[in-house]
Amino acid sequence: MTPNDISHLVHEEIIMNELEPDVVRSRIHTMLATLPTDDATMGSILNEARGFCLARHHEFKMLSEDLERVVGVMDASMEPMIRWLEANGLTNARHHVFGKNWWSDRVDA
């Protein structure tokens, strides 16, 4: 699957229709279970998880109570993708998604 296919599935089919982080997490987990584990799909999932990571980092810069749900949905989207990538052979997926210095680059540290 291409990055556009994954982005469409995650954003248009799941996030646009659901605001509850637990439901988003469950639906993305279910979607990932149906995907092939070829290199293109793995790269597309990694790309999508990175996008959520960058957006989450940006949201943390201006976090308020109104944005807590937004960050919760981003976490709910990234977590199943990272676990799926790890389960399918990319053992350092968290490192790839967050970047090599993600602990030192965090805004909330």
* pTM > 0.75: yes or no: no
How does pLDDT run across 30-75, given as a tens digit for each residue? 999 999 999 999 999 999 999 988 888 787 777 666 677 787 888 8
Give the span between the Cα atoms of 49 and 15, in whole angstroms: 14
Mean pLDDT of the chain: 84
3-state SS of 56-68 is HHHHHHCCCHHHH
* pLDDT for 95 beyond 60: yes
Give the span between the Cα atoms of 84 and 82, in whole angstroms: 5
The first and second tokens of residue 18, run together, are 């659901």
DSSP 17-37: G---HHHHHHHHHHHHHTS--
